[in-house]
Chain A
Amino acid sequence: MDSYLSDLVPIIIVGLSLGSLFGLVGLAYTVIINATQLVNFGQGDFAMVGVAVCWALIAKLGLPLWVAFPLAVVAGGAMGFITNAIIVTPLLKKDVHPFYPILGTMSVGTIAAGAVGIFTGFYWMPIEHFLGNEPLKVGGIPMDTQGLLIIGTTVAIVTAYWYLLHKTRLGLALRATGFNREVSLLAGIQVGKMASLSFVISGIIAAIAGVLCAPFSAFTATDGMILGINGFIALIVGGWGNPYAALLGGVLVGMIRALIVGYISSAHAELATFLVLMVVLTIKPQGLFAGFMMPKTMNSAR
């Protein structure tokens, strides 16, 4: 019993960092959903592109991390911009079925994954721990510095996003676009630019998430999809179109996963994630924390 408890703190830290990672990807989805009501199925591949750029700059060109990281983030943003420009906007203009732009984002993601895969031969793209491999010891309990970094970054990004969304005119325009496209257009909001901006922000957040988790897991060209799915699960478990609910959903999923890895078996952790999703979809399809911290009007914007 004693060993169970002493294991608990590191497991909680792992769960929190994993959860904030999923929540961060879920937030990246939510940014686009809030502005355009679209799900970007290439989200994970945005993260993968960030990792690939960061890895290529460090391993191939020998640049230091503090140069490569911002460039990778820029690449993620560019990826978002390109996706919106070459497929999402043209398809929305054609007035096809809503699922087509989503498939379009997936096709861009697949092209990116395929291209990076050819470049890397579908092998790992390893990135060192940012702050060294030595775990931080607090009161005798070892803590992974990368995990703490992820938690900290997530809190910072969510706070920044909250500030952007609720305290600036730009955020108001972004929210209005997602709430009602036509009325926003009448009010003089440049709806197209807002959609584009949301894709760029989303790409940036995804790239940050990807690069942060790359030292944890051996990232290959096709792993972006997996990260994307986990983020989407976080989003659905938490609540549709609500960034804070996505974060909470991510933490819940990450915790469950860490507890299963810690106490049962690592082989069944992924399976459990999908089972949790199925259960949530069965009992509460709108998400567990759907109304969390959101004004009532935003919820009706589904």
Chain B
Amino acid sequence: MWRNRKRDLMIICGVALIGALLPLGVADFFRYLVVLVSIYGIAALGLNIFMGYCGQINMGSAGFFCIGAYVPTMLQVKYELHYLIGFPLAILFSLLVAWLLSYPLLRLKGHAMAIGTLSFGMAVYLIAERFPELTGGADGITVPAMTIPGVEVGDKFYYYLILACFLFSYLGCYFLMDSRIGRALKAIRDDEDAALALGINIDQYKRFAWLVNSALMSVAGSLFAQQAGFLSPSTFALWTSISVLVMICVGGLGTNLGSVLGAAIMTLLPYILVSIQEYIMLTQGIILFCVLRFMPDGIVGTLPKLIRRNGRSKQAVAGSGEVAL
């Protein structure tokens, strides 16, 4: 266990180092792709904790993404509150919303939970679109650039900020899932009744996973707003929830690595495969279909079986061996 962890940490540090050095050598477009993958990676990690590890269903994650994007932006536009205050406030606000929602939603199971969370996501989207005085309405709103005295806030600053947030989230999820909490969540996923019999407080742990999910989605939303520079409610429609869901299914439910890989694949593939916006929906549908039909364990669950590697991938397989949702 410990040797594995040492190796994993070294790999993560290596990735961090490569990430930190990247802007020196590569084109702006490539840097932009890394930023996008990091943002969606954070979102996917969050959803994965709730869906992959805890085995619940969340089809409205874009709601928290939306809150994370709009709260700091509107605070800046309306009250000129600095982003460094706005970001934590956004997280607190989405935690509050998630905590309130956890009472009706987490009692539900299966399809009822799916439609409940979905309706939350749609409700947030509709609020963003139909209340112009609150959010700028359907026309969208320009996100003012961040200013920090003494620091040049440019592309590179955002690159490092977003990369740092991503690595921090990944490490957090990594340690969380190795801990007592992670084991409890997996136990709930595998068999709720058995977990209850073992003395695991199911409600508390589900709520915890739901809160972590909301917080990470909100962080991703805040970073997305900064990176995009413009917010339009249609960005946060149902489709965003579904594409994050597709990401974690493609990568492999219940693995942190899988979530990030899935985020990378689903973000990059449209850039590689198609240059026309109209084809993206079809492409994503086909990818989801192929993954479900031909490798239901996702990439992290399937590839190691094919190439028979040891170490980290073996551990990943152990995590996703039973693809319980």
CB-defined contacts of A282 to chain B, threshold 8 Å: 103-104
Question: Complex Cα distance A117/B284, Å?
Answer: 13
Question: Complex Cα distance A154/B247, Å?
Answer: 39
Q: Mark B297-325, 1 if CB is under 8 A from A, else 0.
A: 00000000000000000000000000111
Q: Is the CB of B112 within 8 A of A285?
A: yes
CB-defined contacts of A107 to chain B, threshold 8 Å: 285-286, 288-289, 292
A297 to chain B, nearest CB (A): 21
CB-defined contacts of A87 to chain B, threshold 8 Å: 289, 292-293
**What is the interface of chain B mostly: helix, strand, loop, or mixed?**
helix
Question: Complex Cα distance A245/B119, Å?
Answer: 20
Q: Is the CB of B278 within 8 A of A122?
A: yes
Stretch in B2-10, B23-31, B67-75, B122-130 with 4+ CB within 8 Å of A: B122-130
CB-defined contacts of B242 to chain A, threshold 8 Å: 106, 110
List 8 interface pairs A-B (beta carbons < 8 Å), by A numbering.
A107-B289, A114-B282, A222-B281, A225-B238, A233-B119, A236-B112, A271-B127, A281-B104
B265 to chain A, nearest CB (A): 15
CB-defined contacts of A39 to chain B, threshold 8 Å: 111, 114
Supposing A106-B288, A268-B130, A274-B123 touch, asked if A99 and B296 sit within 8 A by C-beta, the answer is no
Pick the residue among A99, A225, A281 that contacts B116 (CB under 8 A): A281
Whether B108 sits at the interface, judged by CB under 8 Å, is yes
Q: Mark A265-277, 1 if CB is under 8 A from B, else 0.
A: 0011011001101
Whether A111 sits at the interface, judged by CB under 8 Å, is yes
Q: Is the CB of B282 within 8 A of A277?
A: no
Question: Complex Cα distance A282/B100, Å?
Answer: 12
Question: Nearest 4 pairs between A and B by C-beta?
Answer: A114-B282, A110-B285, A114-B281, A111-B285
Whether B65 sits at the interface, judged by CB under 8 Å, is no
Whether B180 sits at the interface, judged by CB under 8 Å, is no
A38-80 residues with Cβ-Cβ distance < 8 A to B are 39
CB-defined contacts of A225 to chain B, threshold 8 Å: 238
Whether A264 sits at the interface, judged by CB under 8 Å, is no
Q: Count residues on chain B whose CB falls below 8 Å from chain A CBs.
A: 42
Q: Is the CB of A97 within 8 A of B293?
A: no
Q: Mark B99-111, 1 if CB is under 8 A from A, else 0.
A: 0000111011011
Question: Complex Cα distance A122/B282, Å?
Answer: 12
CB-defined contacts of A98 to chain B, threshold 8 Å: 110, 325
Q: Mark B249-284, 1 if CB is under 8 A from A, else 0.
A: 100000000000000000000000000001111111
Whether B115 sits at the interface, judged by CB under 8 Å, is yes
CB-defined contacts of A100 to chain B, threshold 8 Å: 292, 296, 323, 325
Q: Is the CB of B289 within 8 A of A281?
A: no
Whether A173 sits at the interface, judged by CB under 8 Å, is no
CB-defined contacts of B127 to chain A, threshold 8 Å: 271
Q: Count residues on chain A whose CB falls below 8 Å from chain B CBs.
A: 46
Stretch in A88-96, A129-137, A158-166, A209-217 with 4+ CB within 8 Å of B: A88-96
Output the residue of A109, A121, A274, A282 with the most chain B CB within 10 A.
Answer: A274
Supposing A97-B324, A268-B130, A275-B123 touch, asked if A103 and B288 sit within 8 A by C-beta, the answer is yes
Whether B118 sits at the interface, judged by CB under 8 Å, is yes
Whether B120 sits at the interface, judged by CB under 8 Å, is yes
Whether B57 sits at the interface, judged by CB under 8 Å, is yes
| Additional A-B contacts beyond A97-B323, A100-B323, A111-B286 (4; CB < 8 A) | A86-B293, A229-B115, A236-B112, A270-B126
A158 to chain B, nearest CB (A): 22
Output the residue of B104, B108, B323 with the most chain A CB within 10 A.
Answer: B104
Q: Is the CB of A117 within 8 A of B278?
A: yes
CB-defined contacts of A108 to chain B, threshold 8 Å: 285, 289
Question: Complex Cα distance A106/B111, Å?
Answer: 13
Question: Complex Cα distance A90/B107, Å?
Answer: 31
Supposing A99-B325, A100-B325, A274-B126 touch, asked if A236 and B289 sit within 8 A by C-beta, the answer is no
Question: Complex Cα distance A110/B284, Å?
Answer: 8
Question: Complex Cα distance A267/B131, Å?
Answer: 9
A235 to chain B, nearest CB (A): 8
Q: Is the CB of B292 within 8 A of A281?
A: no
CB-defined contacts of B279 to chain A, threshold 8 Å: 114, 118
CB-defined contacts of B249 to chain A, threshold 8 Å: 103
CB-defined contacts of A271 to chain B, threshold 8 Å: 123, 126-127, 130
